[in-house]
Amino acid sequence: MVELLYGSGLRGVELLSLRVGDLDFDSGNILVRDHRSDRDRTTPLPKVLIPALRRQVGLVRLIHSQDLADGHGTVLLPKSSEHSPSRLSRSLAWQYLFPASRLSADSESGDLRRYHTHSTALTKQIRHAVQAAGVDKPAQARAFRHSFATHLLEAGYDLRTVQQLLGHADIGTTEIYTYLVDRNSRDVQSPLDWLFPGVSESAAIYSLAA
């Protein structure tokens, strides 16, 4: 899940809302549904994750088959698909890619349905991983999306492309990441190194002192 946050630049809610049918292994894209503005977009599906995602789809298929056998298996459809045939709500394509571990009662109908993994579960796993890695900085789900954008800009992708991948309505929001890139001094060479190319630090100091 975290690899998708970084590899595809997804928001946490977008990741959790992914359906099985949103993955297009043939084209290498992920359909991201924008529930706030109904402006859907596509973002790259990392090739390295294809085997793991295929296994995940297989797991969802098993869980969904058992839910159907138990008389359940329906899922709420996005608003844009609310007028679709009711049978679609029982199809594998509309099941959540990362389903919850148990069924929950619908607040309106009372029907038992399997929703997606809760956001707190993702947050908890990220927190535990950060602690286990010995990282002393706070890390949240959105940090991986920020890294996705920053690293694309560092790699030379244009601002408009990054804007489209992130789903920003205003390019000004995307421009914030350019400041992060500008402040990144990892690839900036010290002028002292220009004077002594290939010379170690101690040798350079000795030469200056002489």
pLDDT in tens, 149-164: 888 888 888 888 888 8
Judge whether 11 lies within some domain. yes
Share of the chain above pLDDT 90, in %: 47
**What mean pLDDT, rounded, does the chain reach?**
83
pLDDT value of position 9: 92
Judge whether 66 lies within some domain. yes
Helices 141-154, 159-166: axis angle to 10 degrees equals: 160
pLDDT digits (tens, 9 = 90+) for 38-65: 678 999 999 999 999 999 999 999 999 9
* Range from 74-78, 79-83, 174-178 that averages highest in pLDDT: 74-78
Share of the chain above pLDDT 70, in %: 80
Q: Is the pLDDT of residue 85 over 70?
A: no
Judge whether 126 lies within some domain. yes
Judge whether 187 lies within some domain. no
pLDDT value of position 25: 95
- Other Cβ atoms within 10 Å of 126 Cβ, number: 19
For 73, the domain range is 2-134
pLDDT value of position 205: 45
pLDDT value of position 64: 97
Judge whether 182 lies within some domain. no
Q: Under a CB-based contact definition with an 8 Å cutoff, are residues 146 and 181 in contact?
A: no
Total tally of structural domains belonging to the chain: 1
Q: How far apart are the first and last CA of the chain?
A: 57
Q: Which amino acid is at 50?
A: I
Judge whether 122 lies within some domain. yes
Judge whether 97 lies within some domain. yes
Q: Is the pLDDT of residue 99 over 50?
A: yes
Q: What are the φ and ψ backbone dihedral angles of 57, each rounded to 5 degrees?
A: -65, -40
- CA dist 165 and 118 (Å) reads 24
pLDDT value of position 21: 96
pLDDT value of position 59: 98
Ranking 73-87, 108-122, 124-138 by mean pLDDT, the lowest is: 73-87
Output b/e per residue, 42-73; b: 16+ Cβ within 10 A: bbebbeeeeeebeebbeebeebbeebeeeebb
Tokens 């900085």, residue located: 137
Judge whether 168 lies within some domain. no
- Residue 207 confidence class, pLDDT cut points 50, 70, 90: very low
- Residue 208 confidence class, pLDDT cut points 50, 70, 90: very low
- Residue 83 confidence class, pLDDT cut points 50, 70, 90: low
